[in-house]
Amino acid sequence: MDNSSEYVSIIKKTLYNAATAQPRIQAIRLYPVCDTDSGHFLILATGWDRNGRIDSVLFHARLVNRQIIIEEDNFEEGLTGTLIAAGIRTEDILTDFQQTVAVQEV
């Protein structure tokens, strides 16, 4: 079963919800970036905090071969649980660390 299009929809919705649900304590804005052609999904944080300019990736996932590889997840509680609750199968989510180990074992 090709679940790619369903997964794209779930990831996009999760990222948009996560980006809009964050409180605006400081002058930092969150931007969901979803490139369905390349399979990259990010949340960028830009703005200013007490220490200066912020421009960083809070979340980065890739959709590869109908699996989601979490490259970076800097949310306090992570977005993996949210993705699973939204309908993505647990076995279809890998962290970058899990992918590296799998490649090394081959």
Strand order in the sheet with 67-73: 27-35, 40-49, 52-64, 67-73, 93-95
Average pLDDT, the chain: 86
CB 16 within 8 A of CB 41: no
Give tens-digit pLDDT for 28-75: 899 999 999 999 999 999 998 888 998 999 999 999 988 999 999 999
Distance CA 92, CA 57 (A): 22
Q: What is the pLDDT of residue 23?
A: 66
The whole model's pTM is what?
0.82
CB 73 within 8 A of CB 62: no
Q: Could you give the domains of the chain? A: 4-105 (3.30.310.110)
CB 26 within 8 A of CB 48: yes
21 falls in which pLDDT band (50, 70, 90)?
confident
Q: What is the pLDDT of residue 106?
A: 39
